[in-house]
Amino acid sequence: MSVSVSDLSIEVPNEEEFDLFRNLIEKELGIHLSSAKRVMLGNRLWKRVMATKSSSYRNYYSFIKQKENSDELAQALELVTTNETFFFRERKHFDFLTNELPDYFSEHKNLKVWSAACSTGEEAYSIAMTLEQANYIHSWSIMASDVNTKVLQKARDGIYLDQRTQNIPTEYRRKFFQQGIDDFSGYIRVKSDIRKKISFFKCNLAADFSHLGLFDVIFLRNILIYFELERKKEILERMVEQMKSGGLLFTGHSESLHGLVKSLKCICPAIYVKQ
């Protein structure tokens, strides 16, 4: 089976090949791919199959499993992770930070936030701009993580296509961004005083992250849907251990935590407090 994308004929892995990669991805990242993702997997990996001159997906799988090809394995895993995001996604969460957060962290001296699965950084910067505008937080810091090193570098750079930033309020755009010129015409960049307040780092949620310490607020949005129920529960339990008592957890609006973690109480859609 093959599909054509932009005149490039892309072979789709057969079911046996797909199972090899599905098991590998679940082992390495904890992410489960449904059978419906077989074409997507082909779209993401076909160029690497060709670049490594592998004769098939099975051959490419054998190639990346060799110890000396660990860099190629890392690249393959990065290619199959989903990184769709945008500024102020699920706007009600940021309205909550502005209007309701003082009820939980009144006169807080140093609010510690973790943006888990931050992708290219839009979520972390949206949090940062919101907190910077707030007058009830004396100081704050944000740690932002993802399993994909390429998107993390984009996040650190803080450079975005202007046409993809329509959700940024005009006041925030004027205060927190620089307009690109010359070669960067059509782009905007987050100003350095905001960028330096965010620590971007690689983190696999399927692995241990207990060394990160405790957080007041954790954003874990639109990532749990990629995990099987037992892995999802296990990640959530470890995530709650990283929250201070009374800390807040933000999840995606399409994700339900009902019955998964007893110590979390839902206070409004997709926002939970640690009891």
User: Residue 275: CA atoms inside 13 Å, Cβ hemisphere, count?
Assistant: 7
pLDDT at 224 over 50: yes
pLDDT digits (tens, 9 = 90+) for 118-128: 999 999 999 99
Segments in the chain forming alpha helices (H): 15-29, 38-51, 57-65, 70-80, 91-99, 122-133, 149-157, 170-176, 192-195, 229-241
Tokens for 91? Answer: 């706007």
Question: What integer is the mean pLDDT of 143-172?
Answer: 92
- CATH code for 91-159+195-274? 3.40.50.150
- CATH code for 2-80? 1.10.155.10
Strands 177-179 and 215-220: unpaired
pLDDT value at position 181? 87
pLDDT value at position 143? 98
pLDDT value at position 169? 93
Could you give the C-alpha distances from 151 to 81, 82, 119, 144, 235, in angstroms and in order? 10, 10, 6, 12, 22
pLDDT digits (tens, 9 = 90+) for 70-89: 889 988 988 887 767 899 99
* Most confident range, picked from 70-74, 164-168, 199-203, 251-255: 199-203
pLDDT at 66 over 80: yes
pLDDT at 186 over 80: yes
Considering only residues 136 and 197, tell me which one the structure prediction assigns the higher pLDDT.
Answer: 197
pLDDT at 65 over 90: yes
Domain range summary for the chain, segments of one domain joined by +? 2-80, 91-159+195-274
Total number of residues shown for the chain:
275
pLDDT value at position 52? 94
List, by residue number, the catalytic residues: 44, 146
pLDDT at 6 over 50: no
